[in-house]
Amino acid sequence: MNLDRDGGCLCGAVRFRARLTGTNFGVCHCPMCRKWTGSALLGITVPAANVEWTGLDHVAKRQSSAWGERAWCADCGSALWFRVTVDGPYSGNLELLIGTFDDANGLRMTNEIYIDQKPDSYAFAGEGRQVLTRAQCVEKFPLLASE
């Protein structure tokens, strides 16, 4: 399977080519992700070094917590990535939003986090993924406790 994916924002000002390291992606239902995307965040972890960008001068960023940054196209508002900004096992990676891929086929949802904060108005179909509550996320990733 080809793990190269092209993508970009709604207006095309920002484009990327990402070399994925796998096909598994996750969903986050935390309040910040829902506010930022307008729904749940569906993202795939990619080493920042595996992404080539064009149009970075159109990207706006915000340090949304003590440990994380969110980026979007300043022209059209499309959410582009989430990045952990503190040293640790997740630094150096981007969480690319799979909705920005030109072709998101062949990817597999393997985890859903903050499930206890998901609105009851929607649910994802299928089985076989890890599902964690906020408390379980904080236990697994202590830096989340600072939210």
Listed in sequence order, the residues at least 6 apart from 34 whose beta carbon sits closer than 8 Å to its beta carbon are: 40, 41, 117, 119
Q: What is the mean pLDDT of residues 4-24?
A: 97
- Whether 72 and 99 have beta carbons less than 8 Å apart is answered as no
What percent of the chain is modeled with pLDDT above 90?
A: 81
pLDDT in tens, 52-71: 999 999 999 999 988 899 99
Would you call 114 helix, strand, or coil by DSSP? coil
| Sign of CA pseudo-dihedral 29, 33, 34, 40 | negative
Average pLDDT across the chain, whole number:
94
Would you call 36 helix, strand, or coil by DSSP? helix
Q: Give the CATH number for residue 10.
A: 2.170.150.70
- Structural domains of the chain, count: 1
Amino acid at 6: D
Domain assignment of residue 80, given as a range:
4-146
Q: Which residue, 5, 8, 6, is CA-closest to 79?
A: 8
Residue 142 φ then ψ, to 5°: -55, -25
- Whether 107 and 44 have beta carbons less than 8 Å apart is answered as yes
pLDDT for 142 equals 77
Q: Does residue 1 register a pLDDT over 70?
A: no
Listed in sequence order, the residues at least 6 apart from 48 whose beta carbon sits closer than 8 Å to its beta carbon are: 83, 92, 93, 94
pLDDT in tens, 64-119: 988 899 999 999 999 999 998 988 878 889 999 999 999 999 999 999 999 999 99
pLDDT for 145 equals 74
pLDDT for 37 equals 95
d(Cα 96, Cα 41) in Å, to the nearest integer?
A: 10
Q: Does residue 22 register a pLDDT over 90?
A: yes
Q: Does residue 9 register a pLDDT over 80?
A: yes
